[in-house]
Structure 1
Amino acid sequence: MDRQAARERFLVPQWSGGYFDIDGDGYARVIADPESGYSARVVDVVDGLRRRGYRSPFLLRFPQILKHRVRRLHEAFGAAIEEFDYPGSYQGVYPVKVNQQRAVIEALVEESGRHRYGLEVGSKGELVLALMQDLSPDALVVCNGFKDRDYIELALRGGQAGTRVLLICETIHEVSEILDVARAVGVQPRIGFRARLHSGGSGKWSESGGHHAKFGLSTLEIVRCVELMEDSGCADALECVHFHVGSQISDILAIKEAVKEAARLYCHVRKRVPSLRYLDLGGGLGVDYDGSSTMSSWSQNYTLEEYCRDCVWNVASVCEQEDVPPPTLISESGRAVTAFASLVVVSPLKVIGRTADVSVDVPGDACHQVEELRASLDEMTAGNWRELVNDARALSDEVILGFKMGFVSLEDRAAGEALFADVCRRALTFIEPEGGDPEEIQDLMLTVAPMIVCNFSVFQSTPDTWAVRQVFPIMPLSSLTEEDLHPYTLGDITCDSDGRIDDFLSSEGGCKKTIQFPVLDLENNPYLIGIFLVGAYQDTLGDFHNLFGSANEVSVFIEQDDTFQLRNHSRGTTVSEAVSMFGFPREELIHRFDDRHGGDDSPESIRYRDCFLRVLSSGTYLRR
């Protein structure tokens, strides 16, 4: 197929955001900045890492994409502010929890001076990181989450030292405690409160908003907080109203309703407290992971520009109605900033399951069910495929039942399983030109699809595929223009049945159970596989299931001539590092080994010790 057909097959224009593409030779390319067009083949980046001694899996970071996302966010808000003649301004903050990696934080902080871009934190650890960054003097550090006195004091002293710190209150008690600590420190706090709106979000995290939300103050509690600050003579410390109705909001109507409600709340409090100046819109700006531009959990039915226009227009409209000066708008758009900027690259190790080119040996004295399965295969046409598939499914079940009861031989069972798969495979050749029920087609594909086992851990590199069934774009990094595609599933190397990816993008919309790849030939065409848009949350949530650790990581910088530089190399976790995390230090394990085998000087014992030490020092993933 040609380049454009390959793009459409893998839905690249829909999910890539302009940061990934397919070239004329069928290779995946990463684009540092869609305006400049600087790009590089991903396989060339991997080859560069391999020459430096690194092995898959790889986590590739693209700091230029991070910076471009920040610029796009501010440009979109700027355009909306200009379009609606909004008298206020916008400044963003990055939620550190989305990805706390140093390479990510430092790349984003480099945009702080140009855009007054700040940070949002939700813990003492994140606050420590934020206070030590070289932020613009006008950038904000927004402090969310539950707080103790240490958290509050550190935030206040950071503000005293020159950082613009906003303490967002989650409870009435926090207001009292902030005022108490501020008096002890001798500093004027900058306080906001998080409102629990009636409006909810949409999509996977819709319950983050609404009456049953974990965080936020009710309307009555907000009134009491204002009264408390007035009674304490500290009302002028109140500067911000904040809300958050969920991550990855899929429906723009949910955003509009929440913004209108929050703007109305802001105006009523602003009339009572003139020091109020910020409206923090929270997070929720989505990413179109599945490329469908719909209200599915992993998509969004709006663009970045539409999001910004709706936020600005609705706030402006409410403020005009209430005759209140419009606030400075803040947003905490972490997913939309980071998702595009990381890519996991994995190498296939083996293919599990029979492929079409493996013949079936039918015993001469096969049971009648096996003979009927073979006949179904020979008799199938475009007119009877559905009937024969249903018959074959019943015959296959009879073979399995007969084997359990001792009436069917092992050879017959093997032939029956293989023939049933062949019947499904033959049916697919009739369905594709004709069309059919998508779920029925997917069931047939799943029956015949082998599993590609890849050298990575789902739980470490893409934990949300397991935890919340998130969909990520996945495609080979080469061979993308090949015509002959076959259905596969993907699995990792963990010793866990959940170590697989079960949901894939579908060109028909929604998700499907298999993915169409070029035929994988591990000897002659062992292409690499890319899992895209993993920059948000996956680093933070990844765990050490089966003691598989982090992948080899690198930051990739693409130059004007489409060359690239590799910086900030980080080798993946070694076996000794992984076991040490769980209380088994390397030195202790070596000491135990020597206690058990130290008196044995035989060549076998020496080789055993050498092997033991070599594995301790090696990475946790498999070597091909």
Structure 2
Amino acid sequence: MESSLDSRNWSTEKSAELYRLEAWGSPYLRVTDDGGIAVNCRPDKFEQSDFTIDQIVDDLYRQGGKLPAIVRCPDILHHRADRIKAAFQRSISRLSYSGDFQLCYPVKTNQRRNVVRAVRQNGIGLEVGTKAELAIGLDEIKHSSKPLLCNGAKDRLYMDLVIHAAKAGVNAILTIERPEEVQLLIKRFKEHQFCPALGLRICPGTQAEGFWSESTGQCGQFGMHRHELIWAVDELRKHGILHHVKMLHYHLGSQISDLQFIERAAEEVASVYAELIEEGLPLKIVNAGGGIAVNYGGNSENSYYTKNYSLDDYSYRLLSAVSGVCRRDGCPEPVIYIESGRGLAAHHSFVVFELFDRGLPDHPTGLQRGVQHRELATLESYARAPFPRFERVTEAFSVCQSKYRSGLMKLREYARAEKLYSDLCRQSFSTRAPRNLSGNLSIFQSVPDAWGLKQLFPIMPIQRLNEAPVERAKLLDVTCDSDGVFQEYQSALSPEWLPVHPIGPDPYYVAAFHTGAYQETIGDIHNLYGRTSVIRVSCNDDGSHECELDHAGDTVADVMQEVSYLEDVIDEIWAFFGVTGNEEARKAIHQLADGSTYLDLDNRNQP
């Protein structure tokens, strides 16, 4: 696509192709004719939408929010849930599968109340893994017949609360994951004389590929191995609890990009299910955990960021594997549960932030222009040439570097050489190195997996897509950390840099997409950059949209309190400046305390 980056022949279709938008953004995003990005929150009802991210940003500012901001689209959550459920129903019909299907949401994916509430509107069960998540799950599901899957490490209080919930009629299933939990359960059963529905979690021998492959397979860290499972079954039988076991649970891992592993694990666990049925366990459910992958814009070279299947493929192959074993062994086909976090939630939110250039203006002053070295003169001549050869430019600049290090070139002379080299690099799109541009966000707060896992997230400008993005950029955040950089990009040209437009005096906005799973609650306040603004977008039945500000963003005072610097610290600083008689400083410290932790780029050009 290199030759097509010609502004005279550019089009919005070429922008969509360049950023691979169709592969990872359909059916929710499209490039508009005027170069924006439209969001279609309800593709089941509307073929396309003209509501752009620029309009969302305008609403954000009108309601008192600022960038950076998380944009949440609950309607996309609903659409994702409907697509997953519909895919399984089609596969059930195709296979004449006698069992049913239940979709569950792992609360750890995003515990924010608005997100969990939106999920629950779709008749979805919940999976919890801690005592705090258990409290959330009980609050959300207490009047519902949908399942509450109680996983994770457990202590006495955790089990007691599940037992009380089950007594009160909550459809809670307590998953036994480790042998020590069997012993604790037996003690709690004896005290309460009551046992909730139980699940047994096994560690499948199948090992998938991906970021989390080491947590699965024969040495996996979650679930019981076969000998532990047999011991657990025998112990539960001995204490008269075995008849409460209703579910067999396994989890292959998150973001399983290759369908063969999903099918292989399902077949393996179905064989265990069939044998346990033969031993007399009243199993009704096989819980296949999570694993539905999301296309983050990857390709065959970085396949962990993409997938080789559709939702129909996933549901059909999983059900087919289970059905094949059950029909072979003559046992009933179970209800299939899945705990889909990433596949359900990733698409529904994205982060918008402003990109800016920390470099000098195009025509800096004060650089030495007197030519006293042949190599500097060579660079001057290349700057006037229409198509200089990049290797010769690099060679001339390398000599200047050597001379400067040896003391043979003065600082101002070298500064001139450096500026010429930088300008020449920017002139040739096909050979130049990317420039560092800064995004007004913290990767550690808003897209932490881009740092922790070096994960690819699709990033692209949200405006000017009817123009050719002729600049190459590597995107840095505003933290004081060398890891605060996006390392990989989904561009069709190169994974090492992002094509962007020349940044002028107007704000230049970009967005990181598919951040709805895990990013918001994993994010931390590194460098004391706090939570961003959050705005929620809803689509009405007539196609109109409403935006509601959920959170205006943390202030400096908010994050200071998180690290135990309370409000009196601000007052003490204010008093200190009062002693010195500096009233402007006293005013500034209160503005700082009440202001955003991020840069105020709106006022950067004000005196």
2:502 pairs, out of 519, 541, 551, with 519
Instruction: Please state how far the C-alpha of 1:359 moved relative to its aligned partner.
Output: 11
8 Å CA contact retained: 2:538, 2:545: yes
Distance in 1 separating the partners of 2:36 and 2:153: 47
String of CA shifts for 1:502-525, please: whole Å, max 9, x gaps.
Answer: 2111225xx61211122221x2x4
Distance in 2 separating the partners of 1:102 and 1:463: 21
1:272 pairs, out of 265, 273, 279, with 279
String of CA shifts for 1:73-112, please: whole Å, max 9, x gaps.
Answer: 1111111111111000110110111111111000001112
8 Å CA contact retained: 2:298, 2:456: no
1:369 matched residue in structure 2: 375
Deviates more, 1:175-184 or 1:95-104: 175-184
Q: CA RMSD in A?
A: 2.4
Residues 1:140 and 2:147 aligned together: yes
Residues 1:190 and 2:208 aligned together: no
Change (3 A) 1:266 1:48: same
1:110 pairs, out of 121, 129, 150, with 121
Residues 1:210 and 2:208 aligned together: no
Query: Residue 505 of structure 1 aligns to a residue in which SS?
Result: coil
Instruction: Please state how far the C-alpha of 1:140 moved relative to its aligned partner.
Output: 1.0
8 Å CA contact retained: 1:360, 1:415: no
Residues 1:80 and 2:91 aligned together: yes
Distance in 2 separating the partners of 1:622 and 1:393: 36
Query: Residue 203 of structure 1 aligns to a residue in which SS?
Result: coil
Query: Residue 71 of structure 1 aligns to a residue in which SS?
Result: helix
8 Å CA contact retained: 1:92, 1:332: yes
2:558 matched residue in structure 1: 577
Change (3 A) 1:294 1:316: farther
| 1:46-65 equivalence runs, <5 A | 46-65=57-76
Instruction: Please state how far the C-alpha of 1:46 moved relative to its aligned partner.
Output: 1.3
8 Å CA contact retained: 2:106, 2:127: yes
1:434 matched residue in structure 2: none
2:339 matched residue in structure 1: 332
Change (3 A) 1:427 1:594: closer
Instruction: Please state how far the C-alpha of 1:330 moved relative to its aligned partner.
Output: 0.7
Deviates more, 1:260-269 or 1:402-411: 402-411
1:618 matched residue in structure 2: 595
1:410 matched residue in structure 2: 411
| 1:493-508 equivalence runs, <5 A | 493-507=478-492
Residues 1:130 and 2:111 aligned together: no
Change (3 A) 1:353 1:610: closer
Instruction: Please state how far the C-alpha of 1:319 moved relative to its aligned partner.
Output: 1.0
**Given residue 369 of structure 1, which amino acid in structure 2 is its aligned partner?**
E
Residues 1:536 and 2:517 aligned together: yes
8 Å CA contact retained: 1:250, 1:294: no
Distance in 2 separating the partners of 1:515 and 1:226: 54
8 Å CA contact retained: 1:486, 1:516: yes
2:458 pairs, out of 444, 466, 473, with 473
Instruction: Please state how far the C-alpha of 1:358 moved relative to its aligned partner.
Output: 7.8
8 Å CA contact retained: 1:294, 1:301: no
Distance in 1 separating the partners of 2:142 and 2:86: 20
Distance in 2 separating the partners of 1:294 and 1:406: 46
1:463 pairs, out of 438, 448, 458, with 448
8 Å CA contact retained: 2:371, 2:377: no
8 Å CA contact retained: 1:295, 1:301: no
1:4 pairs, out of 9, 13, 16, with 13
1:101 matched residue in structure 2: 112
| 1:194-273 equivalence runs, <5 A | 194-273=201-280
Residues 1:322 and 2:329 aligned together: yes
Change (3 A) 1:583 1:194: same
% identical aligned pairs = 29
Distance in 1 separating the partners of 2:240 and 2:223: 23
Instruction: Please state how far the C-alpha of 1:486 moved relative to its aligned partner.
Output: 1.9
Query: Residue 609 of structure 1 aligns to a residue in which SS?
Result: helix
Distance in 2 separating the partners of 1:536 and 1:259: 24
| Unaligned runs of at least 5 residues, structure 2 | 1-9, 603-607
Instruction: Please state how far the C-alpha of 1:529 moved relative to its aligned partner.
Output: 1.4
**Given residue 512 of structure 1, which amino acid in structure 2 is its aligned partner?**
P
Query: Residue 586 of structure 2 aligns to a residue in which SS?
Result: helix
**Given residue 96 of structure 1, which amino acid in structure 2 is its aligned partner?**
V
8 Å CA contact retained: 1:33, 1:68: yes
8 Å CA contact retained: 2:66, 2:552: no
String of CA shifts for 1:471-522, please: whole Å, max 9, x gaps.
Answer: 11112222111135321222222222222222111225xx61211122221x
Instruction: Please state how far the C-alpha of 1:416 moved relative to its aligned partner.
Output: 3.1
Instruction: Please state how far the C-alpha of 1:234 moved relative to its aligned partner.
Output: 1.4
Residues 1:345 and 2:352 aligned together: yes
**Given residue 500 of structure 2, which amino acid in structure 1 is its aligned partner?**
F
Query: Residue 155 of structure 1 aligns to a residue in which SS?
Result: helix
Change (3 A) 1:359 1:310: farther
**Given residue 375 of structure 2, which amino acid in structure 1 is its aligned partner?**
Q
1:607 matched residue in structure 2: 584
Change (3 A) 1:299 1:359: farther
Change (3 A) 1:206 1:136: farther
Query: Residue 528 of structure 1 aligns to a residue in which SS?
Result: strand
2:42 pairs, out of 33, 51, 60, with 33
Q: Give the TM-score normalised by the residue count of structure 1.
A: 0.89
Deviates more, 1:353-362 or 1:275-284: 353-362
Instruction: Please state how far the C-alpha of 1:427 moved relative to its aligned partner.
Output: 5.1
Query: Residue 539 of structure 1 aligns to a residue in which SS?
Result: helix
Instruction: Please state how far the C-alpha of 1:373 moved relative to its aligned partner.
Output: 4.4
8 Å CA contact retained: 1:96, 1:126: yes
Deviates more, 1:572-581 or 1:417-426: 417-426
Distance in 1 separating the partners of 2:74 and 2:378: 60
Instruction: Please state how far the C-alpha of 1:13 moved relative to its aligned partner.
Output: 0.9
1:437 matched residue in structure 2: none
**Given residue 607 of structure 1, which amino acid in structure 2 is its aligned partner?**
E
